[in-house]
Chain A
């Protein structure tokens, strides 16, 4: 058993909002910068692809372009550092730390740049729950507290300029305050409270123009704000509060967006005409306009940024993990269980309302959404509690051909809507709806599980529901799914269901009772109950490989491991399990506890393989093991065959990496040339392709083949070429084989490694092969080998082999005996 307790770290793989802050266009309007995770990311607008990452020491709260030098990009961090990059090269230019000396209850939330000299730092007073503003001269480092306050909110202040003066506009409940940054002159405008408080403010950077929005959805355009007699015009279409608004360059029009999921373009020519993009599927959080006025970037609540052109078409979408968001107050968003699609190598989890997303973890990119419910997203309406149909469960068949979803809508007033849908993989890389079953359980569906697809091609799914029944669904000839069998146990409500790896059995957890059923006969084989079976079983997993005789059931306070042959409890582990995942590649299981612990254990072993509190307060909503394509030798023992991923309740995906893996580029981002769209001509691309095609690509061979090939003409080759039934007994082969590797290298060994403690490998091996025949053969081979070209081994390999040479090889023999027996049986 591997008990190395290596230091592991959490690593965020995906998730996290990209629409928390406003994006920023590059000065040439070809790229867009967004703040995500621990850096600033640059995306191309033409292709929507990731271009490069700009590293930052702290969390960036604001992205700004330099008002004077168009080629500079600024990022302002929560630690008060003003970072500067060059836009054309992406090189880091300099860092200026603003000497602000803030007290502990104050934190930096934003920055406005008026000109190169003056910056306005937005500071949130967490005690008083207001925003304060500090004018900071970047040249002289002079600072001055501005005599205005703003309400807490993302867009409660904005800097603009009129013909001669620069001003800061802030909103606070019903007041719009404007302060002249040069003369510190103040103006205050108050609106009628019956329209509700302000929600956001945005001023035009070049003109004396301010837009404010309020809770009732009205947009007020203020002109001539630097006087007490400001002129205001009213624009009212929105029914819900407006989240952000942005002016076009010449102030001929402006864009607005809110929770109606509609992007509105208003014309300021007095015509009150509007253009719309409706049914965007998520509410709008923020907006930014490109310097050439061609594009507007719209940040959505589902973690997408739409780039909209001036004809109101969505031209490009930058999407990270699509998050499910809930607009109803006090209602938690639904995060469905993750599943693994072996075909696209994607994580499958619910995305924005009514959709399921396929997310490629390897490329760290969102792949596509499948519209499961096929209904329009219903945005909230004043005084009405709108409930959308949501995907609550997903399951993917083991061959990736079938995909099942359960969608649900429960508004507490009308009947519960519940649908079980079966989707089949279509060659056009989309899943196609094949069967939809209305209300399969006359109530909620608790769990669904596909039967692993084996050679017989049987497709089966089991669903458990609140009507105290489980139903097996089977695929008929014409690719439609029909009911096959209905099972029940007294009137207990079944929850978790799981198939064994060989599909011969399946287990259903009925409240505290575990029942095991035979798949072929659809008969209950055994019913496992413990005397204290009051706790509900939440997870059921069959052991894999060597542990396949065990059945693991987890309830909220303990894990019970049953032996399926003896029908006895083997072990009870007291753990508050939040999620239980089984490794499909070996017999490991991972339990995430409520207390933030990760426990990796073998059903057959007493002690856990790994146990540590490393979740750092993150709530696990689901987890799975992701099989590696090849064995990851530098991963921690229990992650060598499959990587463990988990998803938090806010749809962030994490994994565990060890120290030596940390620097490994975990998932290579797609590299794009920096001068994309600038110098590379289509012809250049063509030429490049041709040169590539002339190079013969050598398919990398599997590891063992490489090794065999590298020792050509050697004993190993002979061994590989001899038919297996002609080979001498194993014990004669192994010693010789190790010898083969070692003696060729003996001259190259200079310094044995620390743990290498077998100084005379030759003697050991010679002694071990006592059989005269093999001795004879061995010497022949050695002669041959001496003539052969020797291959160099690295000292590490060398020492490993030497240590292997010391070992007993009886087990190999046993292993081969076992293989022979099984092949005889066949």
Chain B
């Protein structure tokens, strides 16, 4: 009410789905930096402590990168064969990694020293984890067993041989040092209790398990394998809570993000899907260039690293909003600056006044709208054409022309132009008259233009030229339309032929029906 509605150029632009809050959140990450390594990226782990170094396990080394500079901070190369699953201790000072050597190696991150070697597995060790008491290690091996080690003595505390295939996934409970979980290619997920040395739970995932994690509170086990992610209640005897299928190819890795509120899953379909843990609904998708093998994310989303099959690691950081991180400098336009200055100069309003008036905010509008509002149609068209020449936004000109037709002001707007201007307008018409959305408007406009300049156009060489151009464009369009109609006719004939056997019009014998009138009164 009381406001002028500006021209709506959106009519002619394609509608795009709106950005959800989730999408805006994930867009706040910096542009990803790409690191290149040899061979597939097996595992990425992010140091939970500042500055959130992340360890990338790939081929025969574990490299630790700085997320800010993206430079190698440390490189652990004491492997003879391929290394797997480099994982930080919770304080970030130690790192453990398995490998094809069937050993688990423990390194000091600062000095890169190899502190311990845990020997005892008979096959490659793909995953290893520190238990939360920091004195034990948990490893999963291709010898179909999972083992818990004592770090100090390098001895096996317990070894579980209940799986019948490679054990390629595992997790340690975030709340109990005695609970470990392993996932195997035999499609089973098993929970072991080191106090009883027995299998506490056996969960049937239904596909070879690629990744297993706990949720933040340790109450839910999340397993991924095939295209499914299963949520199991760890406390209620392994009840299947939910099964979602966010990917259409094998899911390779899982990670908890946003302090346990989001689940990230990466798959061979080159996507990382974000799932809302509260309702298990898909929240967002991140696209990558290659199939994804590993995700590393800081628990508060400060660093996100995604490893892919072709050795690429995509690293991005979240921009901090609390001023600690990089904050964009505020750039004021001149008008905003003035407004700000004025605001600073404003007096405090008197508290006790009979009536207080607030300053009316002036409606911001484009030049085109300003001219339209004051009925200066010719000027509005000039501005729109000038804008078209610089920005190539055809829709703003077409919307204006349409509005002028509505306002019966197109003739006024087009009148009194010189040869050069008319030629420009005609050129615009011939360029866009083929667009089916613009066509009705531009045909109307062309008719108006010819009405006005039909007599004088012979004295305007440039406009005449443009007019001839327009004529040939229209001719071409007509030809195309005829051809398309021919094609449509041919197609429809085929369609009708195929449909005809299905449809036999129902004819009714109406002789039995008597036309009747309602009794007019009851």
Contact = CB atoms under 8 A, between A and B. Distances in A.
B502 interface: yes
A389 interface: yes
Given A279-B1, A439-B440, A611-B522, A480 B15 contact: yes
A175 interface: no
A311 B406 contact: no
B391 interface: no
Interface string A513-531: 0000000000110111111
B513 A569 contact: yes
B515 to A, nearest CB: 5
A3 interface: yes
Contacts of B15: 434-436, 480
B11 A415 contact: no
A277 B522 CA distance: 59
Interface stretch (A166-174, A208-216, A375-383): A375-383
Given A280-B2, A374-B8, A571 B502 contact: no
The range of chain B's interface size is 35 or more
Interface in B504-522: 505-510, 512-513, 515-522
Given A409-B406, A530-B510, A415 B2 contact: no
A419 B12 CA distance: 12
Contacts of B512: 568
Contacts of A384: 408
A479 interface: yes
B155 interface: no
Given A279-B3, A567-B508, A568-B508, A574 B515 contact: yes
B518 A611 contact: yes
Contacts of A626: none
Contact of B517 (A317, A434, A480, A574): A574
B443 interface: yes
B444 A415 contact: yes
Contact of B405 (A414, A478, A571): A414
A438 interface: yes
Contact of A607 (B405, B407, B443, B519): B519
A453 to B, nearest CB: 20
A530 B508 contact: yes
A376 B405 contact: no
Q: Which of A5, A375, A381, A439 has the most B CB atoms < 10 Å from its CB?
A: A375
B441 interface: yes
A479 B18 CA distance: 9
Contacts of B10: 436
Nearest to B521: A611
Contacts of A607: 518-519, 522
Contact of B357 (A311, A376, A386): A311
B25 interface: no
A281 interface: yes
A209 to B, nearest CB: 27
B476 interface: no
A226 B176 CA distance: 102
A387 interface: yes
Contacts of A435: 15
Nearest to B444: A414
Contacts of B364: none
A196 to B, nearest CB: 22
Contacts of A601: 518
A527 B506 contact: yes
A54 interface: no
A571 B17 contact: no
B329 interface: no
A378 B407 contact: yes
Interface string B7-46: 0101110010110000000000000000000000000000
Given A386-B408, A415-B441, A280 B508 contact: no
Q: Which of B1, B2, B5, B405 has the most A CB atoms < 10 Å from its CB?
A: B2
B337 interface: no
Contacts of A480: 15, 17
Contacts of B4: 278-279, 376
Contacts of B522: 3, 5, 607-608, 611
Contacts of B515: 558, 572, 574
19 contacts: A5-B522, A279-B2, A371-B5, A375-B5, A376-B5, A378-B407, A384-B408, A386-B407, A413-B444, A415-B440, A526-B506, A568-B513, A571-B516, A572-B515, A572-B516, A599-B518, A607-B518, A607-B519, A607-B522
Given A409-B406, A524-B503, A572-B513, 13 more contacts: A280-B1, A280-B2, A311-B357, A313-B360, A374-B5, A376-B5, A414-B444, A438-B11, A523-B502, A529-B508, A571-B513, A571-B516, A607-B522
Interface of B: 1-5, 8, 10-12, 15, 17-18, 357, 360, 402-403, 405-408, 437, 440-441, 443-444, 502-503, 505-510, 512-513, 515-522
Closest 4 A-B residue pairs measured CB to CB? A415-B440, A478-B17, A414-B444, A572-B515
Interface of A: 3, 5, 277-281, 311, 313-314, 317, 371, 374-376, 378, 381, 384-387, 389, 409, 413-415, 417, 419, 434-436, 438-439, 478-480, 523-524, 526-531, 558, 567-575, 599, 601, 606-608, 611
